[in-house]
Amino acid sequence: MNQIRRRLARKASEFFKDWSVPRQLSGQSAVAEAARSSLSEHQRPRLEEADRIGTSICPFCAVGCAQLVYAKHGKPIHIEGDPRSPVNQGTLCPKGAGTLGMMLSELRVPEVLYRAPHSSAWEKRPLDWAMARIAALVKQTRDETIVDRLADGTPVRHTLGIASLGGATLDNEENYLIKKLLGGGLGVVSIENQARI
């Protein structure tokens, strides 16, 4: 019984020694020594292990929220909203908050994969090769399908052989350039964008 009493007394004494209120009442400062406890003594800054912090933009939508990317030994370990951004003021929506998972996912395809017509196999190709092939096919399709005039003689100078569907990440300015290039430059009529922000 005495042993239990002694243990309880010791626990109570430790509790009151660690609790900030009695220490404040005994004169300690609430923002200095009385704010410390055995728990806070062992806490470390959340991202102490990061050796580098970079800035980025969320890749998911046209809001363009700014991000801080924390890295350790060259590998990202955490991404959060940048509080300096007037756009998102340090916040990220659930999609943007999952950027690190997207970056490090084993399912991510980091290179260009090409499947030739009638083939069932994917081949790795350089990005430059893919861009040149896309440009060549767009030019070829446009040249083959351009219509100068309709049957009644109305001049149109357009092609219905190409359509463009933009992604949600495209912002106002990018969509303007796409419209200028495809519509005014190539005569494409079907131009749409997924973004609705």
Task: Find the binder of ligand SF4 among 50, 77, 93, 191 (CB under 6 A).
Answer: 93
63 binds ligand SF4 (CB under 6 A): yes
Binding map of ligand SF4 across residues 20-59, x = CB under 6 A, - = no contact: --------------------------------------x-
DSSP conformation letters of the chain: -HHHHHHHHHHHHHHHHH-HHHHHHTT--TTTGGG--HHHHT---TTTT--EEEEEE-SSSTT--EEEEEEETTEEEEEEE-TT-TTTTT---HHHHTHHHHHH-TT---SEEE--TT----EEE-HHHHHHHHHHHHHHHHHHHEEEE-TT--EEEEEEEEEEEE-TT--HHHHHHHIIIIIIIT-EEEEEE----
Residue 64 is a binding residue for ligand SF4 (CB under 6 A): yes
Q: Does 60 bind ligand SF4 (CB under 6 A)?
A: yes
Q: Should residue 102 be labelled a site residue for ligand SF4 when binding is judged by CB under 6 A?
A: no
From the CB of 100, what's the least distance to ligand SF4, in Å?
A: 12
Nearest to ligand SF4 of 88, 159 (CB atom): 88
Binder of ligand SF4 out of 23, 34, 65, 182 (CB under 6 A) = 65
| Residues engaged in binding ligand SF4 (CB under 6 A) | 58, 60-61, 63-65, 88, 92-93, 95-96
